[in-house]
Amino acid sequence: MRPFVIIRHCGISLLIISALILLSALIALSNPSDHSFLPLALSGLAAFSCGFIALIYTKPVTNIYVKEGYAIVLASWITAWIFGALPYLIYGGEFTLVNSLFESMSGFTTTGASILNDIETLPQGIQFWRIASAWIGGIGVVLLITLAIPSDRNGQVILVSTETSGLAREYFRGGKRGFVRMMLITYTSITLISFISLKLAGMEWFDALIHAMSACSTCGFSNKNNSIAFFDNKLIETILILSMLSGAVNFTLLYSTIIPGRRKRFYIFKSEVFRVFIILLAIATLFITVNLRIRTLSDTTAESFRQAVFQTVSIATTTGFATADTNIWPDFSIGILIVCSLICGCAGSTSGGIKIDRIVLVGKQIHFQIHQFMDPFVVRRNRVDGRLRNPIEINQAELFILMYLALVFIGVEFNTIAGMDFRSGISAAIACMGNVGPGFGQVGSFGNYSSMPDAAKLFSIVLMLAGRLEIYPLILSFKK
């Protein structure tokens, strides 16, 4: 493995990060009362200088090995995380060293967990940088992978096999540049449409921009202490539900539905994975609505449904916006939300979690295995969305789920040993591993992670990165 190749790509990621930090500095400069200009300007210049030096002293390469590709992805994320924490650290206030690192990783991984007790006191420059890191993080994983992988198709498929579903890989075989272009067009289009819609719904332009970028990246960062509950607007909530869903479905499938291409056109409502995702959301919403109404936590059935559908979509898409304090909800509803925060959205999206694609794949395999035991002479093949799935894909999905749950378990143990109560510890581990953000207990929908012990915050950073990179790059980067 050649270190200069990794350094060069880290330099490229730093130049991208520096551009966003300096843009945040310009926003701060436009507001005379904004005192975050200097921290942002210094951080942006530091990132730009290091990135520029990395490019000057390394030579470009045409061939990148598979192992180097994994190392580049991991190193680029770590580099972005460290330099992304600089604006917070220099700004000070609630941003201690550990808090700055936590907030930076939470942003880049689109987790949306925050250590801030009073977000509204932050200047616009810092607030924009928070959401800008999340927005670039939402699409950054795929971009970094496709930029880092070798040009041969087999290497590309290996690197993205656990990140994208079969439909995404079908499009990807047409070339990595086309895949990246499709992802960027879809992502920016969703963000722009959401921004315009929120502005027309009554939000101020800065609020609309923050929440549009947050919803489409499925991050959940808000510039309001009470999140979406601050607005108490049904139209805004409806727009955000659609934005969150758009960010949590397969971008290739969404793009193919809207934009016909030369290849076979796919329609999102014909997708088996998408239908299962929507059906599960509908069932979860129905159960929570009934539960809230029976326990008389809402005055009307309509209000119960309003709270249930928003919180279910918010958690299942790993966004983490809040319109209600879910800490006071019945245990039955909380249990459903926890399940949603484990499964989450579709592959090939900005959503975290195990992904519904793997659940469908493994569920159908279990179904086939049961029938195989009953009738061992009948040959059955596992297909998802019309595509035949080979045993390697099925084994990868099963192994991923086991490793995912194992890391959650380790996180729970670590949090409780560090001093957190069990309810807060388990929900924090699930929320950080799934890049969901809010959990329950002290890290609830209207709470934050400020009271979490520093040791638990540091381990949560590892969980957030492992969840966003989907575990395998972390393992394969260190494999000899």
3-state secondary structure of 163: coil
- The pLDDT, as a whole number, for residue 149 is 47
3-state secondary structure of 387: strand
Contact yes or no for 437/111 (Cβ under 8 A) = yes
d(CA 424, CA 464): 16
Indicate the pLDDT class of residue 158, thresholds 50, 70 and 90.
very low
d(CA 84, CA 107): 9
- The pLDDT, as a whole number, for residue 177 is 61
Neighbour-count burial of 298, counting CB atoms closer than 10 A to its CB (0-12 exposed, 13-18 middle, 19+ buried): middle
Q: How many residues does the chain have?
A: 480
> Is the sign of the CA dihedral 109, 112, 114, 119 positive or negative?
positive
Question: pLDDT, tens digit, for every residue of 396-454?
Answer: 888 999 999 999 999 999 999 999 999 999 999 999 999 998 999 999 888 899 999 99
Please state the rounded mean pLDDT for residues 78-84: 94
Residue 163 reports pLDDT greater than 80:
no
Please state the rounded mean pLDDT for residues 68-83: 86
Question: pLDDT, tens digit, for every residue of 237-266?
Answer: 999 999 999 999 988 888 877 776 545 566
Question: pLDDT, tens digit, for every residue of 14-56?
Answer: 988 999 999 999 999 998 888 999 999 999 999 999 999 998 9
List the structure tokens of 293. Answer: 């109404």
- The pLDDT, as a whole number, for residue 405 is 95
Of 276-280, 413-417, 476-480, give the lowest mean pLDDT range.
476-480
- The pLDDT, as a whole number, for residue 174 is 54
DSSP-assigned beta bridge partners for residue 387: 384
Name residues whose C-beta falls within 8 Å of residue 444's C-beta, 6 or more positions apart in sequence. Answer: 325, 326, 327, 438
- The pLDDT, as a whole number, for residue 161 is 39
- Average pLDDT value over all residues in the chain: 86
- The pLDDT, as a whole number, for residue 213 is 95
List the structure tokens of 107. Answer: 């942003």
d(CA 88, CA 113): 15
Residue 66 reports pLDDT greater than 80:
no
Name residues whose C-beta falls within 8 Å of residue 166's C-beta, 6 or more positions apart in sequence. Answer: 384, 385, 387, 389
- Percentage of residues in the chain having pLDDT higher than 70: 88
Please state the rounded mean pLDDT for residues 216-245: 94
